[in-house]
Structures are given as structure tokens and as C-alpha cells.
Amino acid sequence: MRPYEMMVILEPEVEDHKALVEELQEVVRNLGGEIGKVDVWGKRTLAYPIKKKTEGFYAVFQFKLDPSQVAELDRLMKLRSQVMRHMVVLNEN
């Protein structure tokens, strides 16, 4: 397993962001990953509109995952309508 970091921007209208963050952690766990630190930044103004929205709810996850599962994680994030944007990067620290 290798260390990764994923930032997600969630729809600002979602009622329970905490529950959605838990669901996203469960997605990583179901792929065999281990969640490390989760940093919730909260609602912030976007630099440019995404899906005609000017605000988003930010969360950053640090986790370990098998490299072969990263593409599946990316696919699962794209399928979630509440996730406006996400990015997974290898965390070399």
C-alpha cells in the first residue's frame, strides 16, 4: 500500500456533510484502504464556478491504498453526484 491524499469538493446544499464525509471514508475502506487523517475545511468560495455553483464544501483525506485500486476510487468518486470535484495524489511525505 502507498500513501495518498484526496481532496474533494462537495455540493454546498448537502444537508449532512459529516455523514457524506463518513461515506467517502467507507468507500476507501471497502477498497482495502486505511484512513489516516481527515481534515474538513468546511464551506468555501470557489475560485471559479463549478456546475454553476460558487461555493463548495472542502475535505481532505490522507489514506493508504493499493495502487491498483486508485482507478476504481476515481471511478467511484465520479459516480457520486454530491462530489463536484476530487483529486487523488500520491503523498510522498
Number of domains composing the chain:
1
- pTM for this entry: 0.89
Q: What is the DSSP string of 43-68?
A: EEEEEEEETTEEEEEEEEEEEEE-GG
Q: Which domain holds residue 8?
A: 2-90
CATH of the domain at 50: 3.30.70.60
CB 62 within 8 A of CB 3: yes
Please give the helix or strand (H or E) that residue 67 lies within, else none. Answer: none
Q: For residue range 43-58, list pLDDT tens digits in order.
A: 999 999 999 999 999 9
Q: For residue range 22-37, list pLDDT tens digits in order.
A: 999 999 999 999 999 9
Residue 82, C-alpha cell as written in the block: 454530491
CB 33 within 8 A of CB 65: yes
14 falls in which pLDDT band (50, 70, 90)?
Answer: confident
Average confidence (pLDDT) over 62-73: 95
- Name the residue with cell 475545511: 41
